[in-house]
Structure 1
Amino acid sequence: MLDKKIKFKTKDYLVSQEYFNLIFDKESDMLITEPQPENIEKYYDPKNYISHSDDKNSVIEKVYQQVKKITLNEKVKLIDQYSLDEKSLLDIGCGTGEFLAYAKNKNWNTVGVEVNQNARNKASNKNLKIYKSLEDLPNRQFNIISLWHVLEHLPNLNEKISLIKTKLDDNGILIIAVPNYKSYDAKHYKEFWAAYDTPRHLWHFSQDAIKILFEKHNFKVTKTLPMYFDSFYVSLLSEKYKNGKSNYLKAFYRGLISNIKAKSNGEYSSLIYILKKK
């Protein structure tokens, strides 16, 4: 029997205002959202869910879109390090397709998967090849498979990882980016930490959790990289959730402290994992 206990309750601040438990599973070193909704789609309101939108109306949306422009170049520079002759890229949970469009412009052969119809339509309008699910993909493999802040959303986690593995070349690279619940900003904001994002985030990972999870599927973590901007953006949202209003100076301070502390312990707000098949 798994060793589980309730860590605390947190709230869906974005859509429903409902409360959910975060359960700590000692064996996997994960926090698990409970209950996990059967109809998760209703929690992805396109008016509120920023990664399914290209809008730049609010200050937070403008900040998000500006940071995204910077990170797109960094993401393509990262995958270029591991490119093979075919330069084939599968981006799972591609949202509105900005990363794929940028990579395609840099001569990558791109395919995306996006379950949300609104986001999928916007990606398709960028002249990208987008599928609704992994199961809909043609029988082929890719040099690079990326999941940028997507793994935490996937139901039936082990089944999905097994399927993802079949889509990756034997010499290919799997890139996973997820929030880190052992970061300073997570510990500071506790149940108000925006990166818990319940119930859309079903799983909450530490570095050990990623290693344990992917070891079961014969993957090895070969490198871990920080996502410096995430601590600032997450702190900005967390301040709003905690105090009812955005406090840019406090958010910047907490984000900065989080990155400074992470320089010594490696516990950045979000981390990128580079994985290879064993």
Structure 2
Amino acid sequence: MGCESRDEWVLKGRDRLHDLPGTYSVVRCFGCGLLRTDPRPTADTIGYYYPETYGPYAGTRIADSRFKTAVNAVKAFARSVLKTHSLSLPLLEPGRMLEIGCASGGFLARMAGKGWQVEGIEFSPTAAKNAQDAGFSVHCGSLESAPDPAERFDLVVGWMVLEHLHDPVLALNKLHRWTRKNACLAISVPNAACFQLGWFRERWYPLHLPAHLYHFTPETLEALLNATGWRIEKVLYQKVMTDLVASTAYLIEDKWPHSSVSRFLKRRPDIFNLPLYPLALLLSRLGQSARMTVWARRIDK
């Protein structure tokens, strides 16, 4: 964000999600405090770290069976009742919505069902085709390289996407141009200010090295949004325990490499969200959960 190139080393880690080769550092900018991955894969090589088995691609596929439809309905009901804030939006009248990182189109379908005119941008050709085959207008490629839309948007959403972008300043400036006056931006990112990063360090699940290029705190995210024409209206700390459970699995794995416990925890960390909900509620109220959802409003520069 225009700072001098002086950084403080924080930690070194590797790709734990897919066990791909390489080691990467996380450094903190002396000027603004923003954490970033160093070295970062280039825009041409980053696709290597998103194999076809990447979870969000499969997890957002539109249900094609009664069983999947029922499972998705249960998940949506749980999010609503427990108010996890994972896909939370302010109350808005339906209009035109853009989802960046729309994966296979699950959220696009949800919002289209509520009367929104939806479009998406997705980096993965396979996931983008899944969404296109479902009937949605989806640009396959990066947000930074996407062409201007035919009409401006009233709402832009990006669920766990901003940390993946090579140039978030360019991207947010672009979204500012693409939206109408007073448009809403709803995004979620990992919360690098929570205690879990200090506890687990390179084993913290949301680091997701090297695919996560930036690691935001509420303060650095607000500075970025302010610099690109967005004003934060609300920060919601998500009430989910997936990251704490998965980070614990990494810790167990490093101490006992052949542990069946670590394999189970890595495979299904989400099943602990309900039994650990009281702890998630406490961490959310303290601003110490591992993920945050932010609502921001477009302002004139």
TM-score bin (small chain): 0.7 to 0.9
Tell me the secondary structure at the aligned position of residue 140 of structure 1.
Answer: coil
Task: List aligned pairs for 1:41-56, cutoff 5 A.
Answer: 41-47=47-53, 49-54=54-59
The one of 248, 260, 269 equivalent to 2:282 is 260
Q: In 1, Cα distance between the equivalents of 2:215 and 2:157?
A: 18
Question: Would you say 1:102 and 2:134 are equivalent positions?
Answer: no
Q: In 2, Cα distance between the equivalents of 1:184 and 1:46?
A: 32
- Paired residue for 2:160? 149
Shift of 1:162: 1.1
User: Does the Cα contact within 8 Å between 1:235 and 1:254 map onto a contact in 2?
Assistant: no
Shift of 1:224: 0.9
Q: In 2, Cα distance between the equivalents of 1:66 and 1:50?
A: 19
Question: Would you say 1:225 and 2:225 are equivalent positions?
Answer: no
- Paired residue for 1:30? 34
Question: Would you say 1:7 and 2:10 are equivalent positions?
Answer: yes
Residue deviations 1:123-162, cap 9 Å, x none? 1222211112442342321110011100000112211111
- Paired residue for 1:161? 172
Residue deviations 1:86-122, cap 9 Å, x none? 6111000001111110110111111111010111111
- Paired residue for 1:121? 129
Shift of 1:261: 3.6
- Paired residue for 2:290? 269
Tell me the secondary structure at the aligned position of residue 99 of structure 1.
Answer: helix
Q: In 2, Cα distance between the equivalents of 1:93 and 1:41?
A: 14
Tell me the secondary structure at the aligned position of residue 241 of structure 1.
Answer: helix
The one of 91, 95, 115 equivalent to 1:81 is 91
Shift of 1:71: 7.3
User: Does the Cα contact within 8 Å between 2:155 and 2:184 map onto a contact in 1?
Assistant: yes
Q: In 2, Cα distance between the equivalents of 1:197 and 1:65?
A: 25
Cα gap change, 1:10 to 1:156, in 2 (>3 Å): same
Where is the helix percentage greater, Structure 1 or Structure 2? 1
Q: In 2, Cα distance between the equivalents of 1:228 and 1:204?
A: 19
Q: Structure 2: which amino acid aligns with 1:112?
A: G
Shift of 1:188: 2.3
Please identify, of 180-189 and 66-75, the stretch whose mean Cα deviation from structure 2 is larger: 66-75
Q: In 2, Cα distance between the equivalents of 1:46 and 1:125?
A: 17
- Paired residue for 1:61? none
Q: In 2, Cα distance between the equivalents of 1:77 and 1:12?
A: 26
Shift of 1:10: 1.5
Cα gap change, 1:67 to 1:262, in 2 (>3 Å): same
Cα gap change, 1:4 to 1:151, in 2 (>3 Å): same
Identical columns (%)? 21
- Paired residue for 1:196? 207
User: Does the Cα contact within 8 Å between 1:92 and 1:146 map onto a contact in 2?
Assistant: yes
TM-score, normalization by structure 1:
0.84
Q: In 1, Cα distance between the equivalents of 2:51 and 2:127?
A: 11
User: Does the Cα contact within 8 Å between 1:221 and 1:274 map onto a contact in 2?
Assistant: yes
Shift of 1:78: 4.5
Coordinate RMSD, CA, aligned: 3.0
TM-score, normalization by structure 2:
0.78
Q: In 2, Cα distance between the equivalents of 1:158 and 1:100?
A: 25
- Paired residue for 2:244? 235
The one of 20, 35, 40 equivalent to 2:46 is 40
Cα gap change, 1:96 to 1:69, in 2 (>3 Å): farther
User: Does the Cα contact within 8 Å between 2:90 and 2:295 map onto a contact in 1?
Assistant: no
Cα gap change, 1:97 to 1:113, in 2 (>3 Å): same
Q: In 1, Cα distance between the equivalents of 2:78 and 2:152?
A: 26
- Paired residue for 2:258? none
Q: In 2, Cα distance between the equivalents of 1:29 and 1:68?
A: 36
Cα gap change, 1:233 to 1:261, in 2 (>3 Å): closer
